[in-house]
């Protein structure tokens, strides 16, 4: 999916990074906990695919372009929706009046480079709420002709956007295609580059659509049950620690513990087996809390 010719891509990671492995979190300076235990995890491609398909905050930047909403602002604003095609392209729904739509109106092949930045923020109140960022750099063009209906249908599978697509008359929104050439992710699991072909083959995590609601429910209504997970920490458990559910995927639950003598750290609690849907997730969560309850009663 890489191009042998054309305009070089802008870097698909923060311009402030000094190298490809430096963390966007500034881990040593900001205290963002990183995983220290050997646990199962989603691949980098799965994590990026999940972020692209999620409701996480996203921005689209065209190097050198300026947005009509602010003459001093670098970039083009926020797409209204996005999804990934079977070929690994990212389809973006943007305002027809946006700088991105205007720039892509006459772009051909590799004329126009762009960078998507996705910021994942924890849906619960916790120190260092930014859980990760992903960057996808590539070549931006307008979706035209028969491809438009197919891409609109694909996008509508993720969320109802038919009224935005302006199928009659002058469209209020247009569809853009980002042919991805470079991907990087920096999140709770670490920083790495992702092959665009791996993104095309990856599937979004099936739990992602329920994660925010479930984490908020655990934090607000079952904080005592989450606290009982301290009993599964072994030697890392300490008096006075608070436990906040931080992340959830098909493989397990991540909890951030703070207030102990060792400072903040994350612990990952694996499910017995990967879950495929919300029913399997409920069973896995009940098993996890049952195990923690048995430990607390000993």
Cβ(186)–Cβ(132) below 8 Å: yes
pLDDT at 56: 92
Q: List the pLDDT tens digit at each of the 298 positions of the chain.
A: 444 344 566 666 643 333 333 344 443 344 445 555 556 889 999 999 999 999 899 999 998 554 444 443 445 668 988 999 999 999 999 988 888 998 998 877 668 999 999 999 999 998 889 999 999 999 999 998 889 989 988 888 877 665 555 545 455 888 999 999 999 999 988 899 999 999 999 999 999 999 999 999 999 999 999 988 988 887 666 666 789 999 999 999 999 988 766 677 888 899 989 999 999 999 999 999 998 876 655 5
d(CA 222, CA 216): 10
Reported residue count of the chain is 298
d(CA 2, CA 139): 10
pLDDT at 27: 38
d(CA 193, CA 181): 11
Q: Which of 84, 66, 85 lies closest to 74, judged by CA?
A: 66
């Amino acid at each position: 999916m890489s191009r042998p010719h054309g305009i070089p891509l802008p870097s698909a990671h923060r311009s402030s990074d000094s190298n490809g492995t430096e963390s966007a979190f500034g881990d040593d300076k900001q205290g963002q906990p990183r995983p220290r235990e050997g646990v199962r995890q989603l691949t980098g491609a799965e994590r990026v695919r999940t972020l692209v398909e999620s409701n996480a905050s996203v921005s689209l930047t065209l190097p050198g372009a300026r947005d009509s909403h602010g003459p001093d602002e670098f970039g083009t604003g926020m797409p209204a929706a996005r999804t990934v095609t079977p070929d690994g392209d990212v389809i973006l729904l943007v305002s027809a009046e946006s700088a991105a739509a205007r720039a892509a109106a006459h772009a051909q092949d590799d004329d126009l480079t762009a960078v998507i930045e996705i910021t994942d923020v924890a849906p619960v109140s916790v120190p260092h709420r930014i859980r990760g960022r992903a960057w996808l750099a590539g070549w931006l063009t307008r979706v035209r002709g028969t491809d438009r209906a197919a891409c609109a249908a694909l996008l509508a599978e993720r969320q109802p956007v038919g009224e935005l697509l302006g199928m009659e008359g002058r469209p209020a929104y247009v569809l853009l295609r980002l042919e991805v050439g470079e991907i990087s992710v920096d999140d709770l699991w670490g920083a790495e580059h992702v092959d665009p072909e791996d993104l095309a083959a990856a599937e979004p995590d099936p739990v992602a659509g329920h994660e925010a609601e479930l984490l908020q429910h655990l934090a607000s209504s079952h904080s005592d049950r989450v606290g009982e997970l301290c009993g599964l920490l072994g030697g890392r458990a300490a008096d006075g620690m608070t436990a906040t559910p931080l992340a959830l995927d098909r493989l397990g639950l991540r909890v951030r513990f703070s207030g102990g003598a060792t400072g903040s750290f994350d612990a990952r609690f694996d499910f017995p087996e990967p879950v495929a849907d919300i029913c399997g997730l409920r069973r896995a969560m009940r098993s996890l809390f049952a195990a923690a309850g048995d430990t607390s009663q000993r």
